Amino acid sequence: MSQHLDTYPIELLHGLATIASSSLLRIAGAFSSVLAPIVPHSALVIFTEDCTGRPKKKAGDAAIIDGVTIAELDAIRRLTPRRPHSPARQALASRTLLPTNAVIAGADRPIVAWLADTGALLVLTDPQGPVDDRLIGALWEIVAADIRQQVATAAPDYLRDSRAASSERAGAIAELTDAHATTLESILAITRSRRTTADDARQAVTELASAAMVELRAVSDRDRQLAEEPVARAFARLKEDLRPLSRFGGPEVQFIEPPVDGRALPGEVAHADRAIVRGTVLALVEQSAVGRVRVQSDCDGSNLLIGIRDDGPGELTTDTPSVQQLGARVAALRGSLTVQATPGWGSELHVELPLDAPPSSPARVGALSPLTDREWSVAELAASGARNRMIAESLSISENTVKFHIANVLRKLGVASRVELASALATGR
């Protein structure tokens, strides 16, 4: 047994509990704290394609975590051995990139890396002392699985942050691409000019600029791969998520295939789609005598359209707790949710999710600007119809704190009820 496991059994259990209760925004810091006594390090970086909005989770030295790039992490991941897909699986250590040097944040640094079964990469920079790769590899598998599970449940806070991050990153990438492309095109134009007589210099600069443009486009394309999910792949993952329901005696789930050539879905919308459909199906099967559920997804070019219908007793309403949870997720992406139920004939839910984040959030202009980030989160959930208990669970705060924030929101916006609050958020006044 590992000496580290002998030395830190209770601390490791407490640490894993802390990590499991941490949000995706804080999980890197929590994991870094757990690993620090086992292998001191200057920074911890996680790279996971499960999180489209923020694929990098970082903690530690600011000079490293602020400068590390996806291209650098991609290069490290290519060097890290993968576990073979065969019944005779190798040990966890086979997926460890043992201490070596790699480029991180633009500098050559000592690192050690692990690749989880989910495909997520863990990198520790400047590791000190012996590295127990089996122990850390096992811990990383648990943390990586937790990350995937958190993304799968698509909590409202995660969706809001993911959408904001995707929008910010897309804007930054677009500006970077335009700026570099303009510069490089200017260089090419100058070097191709007939007034340039240094043939060798012109050829060298042309090749350099051409290579730089190719690399820049590759970075842009890689970012797009992380930020978007093709419709066919999103639909396949949804069917895989729901397969156990039918396999273990649940209702028959019928899928209406979406257009295969439809627009790729932003990552947070694809995650929300799966979480909403899964949550809706589970809400429907909680009713009695549900034998069939039909799921249909489509896209009108600007919105993802989700329709879910059952053949049950038709008892669902917007006040049903499970439906309220779905409403909170939909509200996080500024979508809409409607419920139609006919007693004895079944229930039908329709969800509309905008594919693009607004260029500037209308709910943060005018009279709404005094709201803090936390008040904004509470206000949006309250306006969607979520009860205090659900808001508390979604934001990991107490119900008393929710009441405090709602009172502040109503006072700051000069409204008297949640109905008036919903109207204020909708109009952005």
Q: Once rounded to an integer, what is the mean pLDDT over residues 195-210?
A: 66
Are 134 and 236 in contact by the 8 Å Cβ rule? The answer is no
Task: Report which of 277, 250, 241, 259 is spatially closest to residue 353, judged by C-alpha positions.
Answer: 277
Name the CATH architecture for the domain at 3-153: 2-Layer Sandwich (3.30)
Q: Roughly how many angstroms between the first and final C-alpha of the chain, as a whole number? A: 63
**Looking at residue 161, what is its pLDDT?**
61
Predicted TM-score of the model (pTM): 0.54
The 3-state secondary structure of 85-110 reads: CCCCCCCHHHHEEEEEEEEECCEEEE
| Residue 292: per-residue pLDDT | 85
* Residue 292: CA count within 13 A, CB half-sphere: 5
Q: What are phi and psi of 84, to 5 degrees?
A: -65, 145
- Kindly state the DSSP code that residue 159 receives in the 8-state scheme: H
Instruction: Report in angstroms the alpha-carbon separations of 241 from 123, 188, 275, 279, 341.
Output: 29, 50, 9, 11, 25
Query: Whats the size of the chain, residue-wise?
Result: 429
Q: What is the DSSP string of 339-375?
A: EEEETTTEEEEEEEEESS--SS-GGGSGGGTT--HHH
In angstroms, the CA 347 to CA 17 distance is 39
Q: Can you tell me the distance from the alpha carbon of 326 to that of 394, in angstroms, rounded to the nearest whole number?
A: 11
Query: Is pLDDT at 376 greater than 50 in this prediction?
Result: yes
Residue pair 42/65 in contact by the 8 Å Cβ criterion? no
Q: What is the pLDDT of residue 89?
A: 42
Select from 22, 44, 25 the least CA-distant residue to 35.
Answer: 44
**Which 3 state secondary structure label does DSSP give 334?**
coil
Q: Which residue has the tokens 């070596």?
A: 100
Which pLDDT value is given to residue 84? 47
Parallel, antiparallel or unpaired: strands 43-47 and 56-60: antiparallel
Q: Are 134 and 195 in contact (CB under 8 A)?
A: no
In 3D space, the residue among 391, 361, 366 whose CA is nearest the CA of residue 378 turns out to be 391
Which residues contact residue 8 at a Cβ distance below 8 angstroms, ignoring those fewer than 6 apart? 37, 38
DSSP letter at 307?
A: E
Domain ranges of the chain: 3-153, 156-227, 231-354, 362-427
Spatial distance between the Cα atoms of 248 and 87, rounded to a whole number of angstroms? 24
Contact 297, 258 (CB under 8 A): yes
Tell me the pLDDT tens digit for each residue of 51-69.
766 788 889 998 898 888 8
Q: Which two tokens stand for residue 236?
A: 């396949």
Strand, coil or helix: what is 235?
helix
CA atoms of 376 and 370, how far apart (whole Å): 9
Query: Would the pLDDT of 123 be above 80?
Result: yes
Q: Per-residue pLDDT tens for 67-108? A: 888 888 888 988 887 654 444 444 444 477 778 899 998 899
Q: Positive or negative CA dihedral for 418, 423, 428, 429?
A: negative
**Domain covering 231-354 in this structure, CATH number:** 3.30.565.10
CATH 1.10.10.10 fits 362-427, yes or no: yes
- Tokens 């053949």 correspond to what residue? 311
Q: Tell me which of 35-44, 126-135, 364-373, 406-415 is least confident.
A: 364-373
Report the chain's mean pLDDT, rounded to a whole number. 76
Instruction: Find where tokens 């509990």 sit.
Output: 17
Non-local CB neighbours of 397 within 8 Å, separated by 6+ positions: 391
Q: Could you report the per-residue pLDDT of 330-366, keeping only the tens digit for each?
A: 887 778 888 888 888 888 888 888 887 665 444 444 4
Place of tokens 């202009």: 365
Residue 34 pLDDT > 60? yes
**Torsion 340-159-277-264 (CA) sign:** positive
Q: Which of 347, 352, 316, 317 is nearest to 331 (CA)?
A: 352
Answer yes or no: same fold for 3-153 and 231-354. no
